[in-house]
Amino acid sequence: MNGAKVIYADPRYTATARQADLYMPFVSGSDVAILNGLMQEIIKNGWEDKEFIAKRTKDYEKLKEVVMKDAYSLENVSKISGIPVESLKTAAEWLGTTKPGAILYSMGITQHTVGVDNVKSVANIQMLLGNLGKPGSGVNALRGQNNVQGACDMGALPVVFTAYQKVTDAAVHKKFADAWGFPDGICEPKNGYEVTVMMDVLTDNPGELKCMYIMGENPMLSDPDLNHVRHALESLEFLVVQDIFLTETAEMADVVLPAACYAERNGTQTSTERRVQMWRKAQDPPGEAKEDWQIISELAAKMGYAKQFPYQSAEEIFTEVAAVTPSYHGMNYERLSKPEALHWPCPTLEHPGTPILHKEKFSHPDGLGIFTPIEWKPPAEVPDAEYPFVLTTGRVLWHWHTGSMTRRSATLDAEVPTGWIEINPEDAKALGIKDKEKVRAVTRRGSVEVPAKVTKDIMKGIMFMPFHFAECAANILTNNALDPIAKIPEFKACAVKVEKIMEA
């Protein structure tokens, strides 16, 4: 790493924490406070990048007004976050005096009711430090899957077509309607519901949504508040699930369509760095399983739209994507076949792609980066006398998501056969709980029985559960409170209590 320093903030002492030069355990949900505090310390010491702020940004004074408040002094931030003042000081100094610096984050920041605020705060501190638009800098989201970026780029969101072209934009709407040429037109230029919102609509307004077609996702284990999800899916008239295994969700379906797995199909995937990479088929899918695009095309044909779905290969579909998607416009299979592939935006066939964004200007109309002053807000649900601990959830290296694939691997199952709840030794002692003892974890939404893992690798006052395991599903407990903009649920913080299981 050429001597670069690593600062790591996480309530858990993970494998990554071991690599860090500075480890800062913190109370889940205190992100904005921490970042504001660091900014205050940076400004107090004059470590901000004055030239970058002057030339490339606006509204710095507004930011300053908020972050310089006494509420964000390191002493106060330390109280909110549990991070010692000394550590915060060191972090601010390293960030302020070592350039460039990159911030990498993942679901720990986004899966909050203030997820968008958290990400904007990361952008604030990076603009403050001039850490944007150059190698080794940036606001780097590490996405949870190999192709989340690609799925979002392809418009697998309820408000946009490909490459974030708004469905409500009349010109864009016409472009797609013309390109696809459906005799009866395409859906109205109106925003749809996010998945998490759909679950609420299903329970709150039965009959509004009648049918759901779920591909490669297992909300019966991965969505927050599983009792609520079950209720929602049961309210559907018709459920279709397309997956490679019979998941908990597929078990509830009226029709299951067998899909091909990653090794059985061609296509592209777009990584978190916006690199569009080729994906090559290694073997044929088993039995009746087919590639997703084939299933969809056949289904469309049955519904009378064979002409609009004439595809013979994944490449033909990519060519269509490139035609209607400005940031993919210059890409084709031949160019993508190189090992380095291409980063979007790549607007023309001659364009070399864009590994680094925002080199000269930002994407606002005036090209300036906007500082957004943000006040810290606690999570939707905070500990109280009845539920005295913060519960956070996440993944472990050995399993992926709902375990529909990884729990079928004997090797991975031997490494980690089931879930657990991590409890700090001091908390465990107070509760009279021993390592490996089965306990009951209870939140306002439900309760699960789960083995305790008493470990100093988790901060006092916080508990952690991996969410992969149906038999002790963390998401029975999590809170379905959503970020108002991104509609992402607060998987990373809710209030929990842990009880001993009394023998009858």
Partner 1 sequence: MAAIGDMFYTWAADADVLKKGECGGAITALQQYALSSGMVDAVLAVRKGADIYDAVPTFITNPAEVAETAGSLHCGTLLLSKLVKDYLDSNKTARLGVTVKGCDTMGLIELAKRDAVDLDRLILLGVNCGGSVSPVLARKMIREKFEVDPDLVHKEEIDKGQFIIEYEGGHKGIKIDDLEDEGYGRRSNCRRCLYKVPRQADLACGNWGVIGDKAGKATFVEVCSKKGANLLDAAVKAGAVKTEPAIPKGIEIRGKVEGAMLNLGNKWRKKNFEALASDLWGTIGRETGRCIKCYSCIENCPVCFPAAEDLKGKSRMVISGEVPPNPMFHLRRFAHISDSCINCGQCEELCPMDIPLALFSHAIRTEGDSAFEPKLGKAPYTN
Based on the shown chain and the rule CB under 8 A, indicate whether residue 363 belongs to the binding site for partner 1: no
Q: Does position 344 bind partner 1 by CB under 8 A? A: no
Q: Does 491 bind partner 1 (CB under 8 A)?
A: no
Residues 134-173 interacting with partner 1 (rule: CB under 8 A): none
Closest-CA residue to 488 (of 239, 117, 240): 117
Alpha-carbon gap, residue 226 to 223, rounded angstroms: 7
CB of 61 to partner 1, least distance (A): 43
The interface region with partner 1, picked from 33-41, 184-192, 234-242, 414-422 by CB under 8 A, is 414-422
**Site pattern 7..36 for partner 1 (x: CB under 8 A):** --------x--xx-----------------
| E-strand stretches of 274-429 | 275-279, 342-343, 369-370, 389-394, 421-423
Is 435 among the residues that bind partner 1 (CB under 8 A)? no
Cα–Cα distance between 325 and 434 in angstroms, integer? 56
CB 473 within 8 A of CB 418: no
Q: Report residue 401 as tokens.
A: 């998501």
- The reply to whether 302 sits near partner 1 by the rule CB under 8 A is no
> Of 286 and 352, which CB lies nearer to partner 1 in the complex structure?
352
CB nearer to partner 1: give 369 or 466.
466
Q: Note if the bond before 100 is cis, omega within 30 degrees.
A: yes
Min CB(32)–partner 1 separation in Å: 30
| Burial of residue 455, with CB atoms counted within 10 A of its CB: 0-12 exposed, 13-18 middle, 19 or more buried | middle
Using the contact rule CB under 8 A, the part of the chain among 99-107, 249-257, 364-372, 396-404 near partner 1 is: 396-404
CB of 208 to partner 1, least distance (A): 44
**DSSP 3-state of 200:** helix
Please state, as a whole number, how many other Cβ atoms lie within 10 Å of the Cβ of residue 142.
Answer: 12
The distance of closest approach from Cβ of residue 311 to partner 1 in the complex, given in angstroms and rounded to an integer, is: 25
What is the chain's percent helix, strand, coil content, to nearest 5? 35, 20, 45
Is 377 near partner 1 (CB under 8 A)?
Answer: no
Which of 86, 204, 254, 340 forms a contact with partner 1 (CB under 8 A)?
A: 340
Peptide bond into 345 cis (omega under 30): yes
Per rule CB under 8 A, is residue 339 in the interface with partner 1?
yes
Residues 6 or more apart whose Cβ sits within 8 Å of residue 24: 7, 8, 9, 83, 87, 88, 91
Stretch that binds partner 1, among 131-139, 169-177, 228-236, 334-342 (CB under 8 A): 334-342
Between 15 and 171, whose beta carbon lies closer to partner 1? Answer: 15
Question: Binding of partner 1 at residue 398 (CB under 8 A)?
Answer: yes
Least Cβ distance, residue 6 to partner 1 (angstroms):
12
The answer to whether 415 contacts partner 1 (rule: CB under 8 A) is yes
Amino acid making up residue 251: E
Question: Residue 191 interacts with partner 1 (CB under 8 A)?
Answer: no
User: Using alpha carbons only, what angle is made at residue 131 by residues 486 and 12, rounded to the nearest 5 degrees?
Assistant: 60
Among 2, 283, 312, 411, binds partner 1 (CB under 8 A): 411
Residue 338 lies near partner 1 (rule: CB under 8 A): yes
Segment lying near partner 1 (by CB under 8 A), choices 82-90, 106-114, 293-301, 409-417: 409-417
Q: What span, in angstroms and rounded, lies between the C-alpha atoms of 146 and 273? A: 11
| Pure H helices in 278-409 | 292-302, 314-324, 333-336
Q: How far is the CB of 406 from partner 1 (least distance, A)?
A: 13
Q: How far is CA 19 from CA 22, 76, 164, 404, 495, in A?
A: 9, 28, 36, 30, 30
Rounded to the nearest whole angstrom, what is the least distance from the CB of residue 398 to partner 1 in the complex? 6
> How far is residue 222 CA from its own chain's centroid?
12
Tell me which residue of 397, 464, 468, 374 sits closest to 427, measured CA to CA.
464
Q: Is 397 in the site for partner 1 (CB under 8 A)?
A: yes
The nearer residue to partner 1, 264 or 413, going by C-beta atoms, is 413
Q: Is 263 a binder of partner 1 (CB under 8 A)?
A: no
Number of residues located near partner 1, criterion CB under 8 A: 15
Q: Which of residues 385, 414, 485, 504 is near partner 1 by CB under 8 A?
A: 414
Please identify which residue in 337, 429, 436, 456 interacts with partner 1, judged by CB under 8 A: 337
The least distance separating partner 1 from the CB of residue 415, rounded to whole angstroms, comes to 5
The answer to whether the beta carbons of residues 70 and 44 sit under 8 Å apart is: no
Q: Can residue 306 be called a binding residue for partner 1 (CB under 8 A)?
A: no
Query: Given the complex with partner 1, which of 84 and 135 has the nearer CB atom?
Result: 135
Q: Give the shortest CB-24-to-partner 1 separation in angstroms.
A: 20
Contact 458, 348 (CB under 8 A): no
The least distance separating partner 1 from the CB of residue 436, rounded to whole angstroms, comes to 12
Residue 456 touching partner 1 (CB under 8 A): no
Q: How many residues does the chain have?
A: 504
Q: Taken in order 19, 20, 26, 32, is the CA torsion positive or negative?
A: negative
Contacts with partner 1 by CB under 8 A lie at 15, 18-19, 337-340, 396-398, 410-411, 414-416
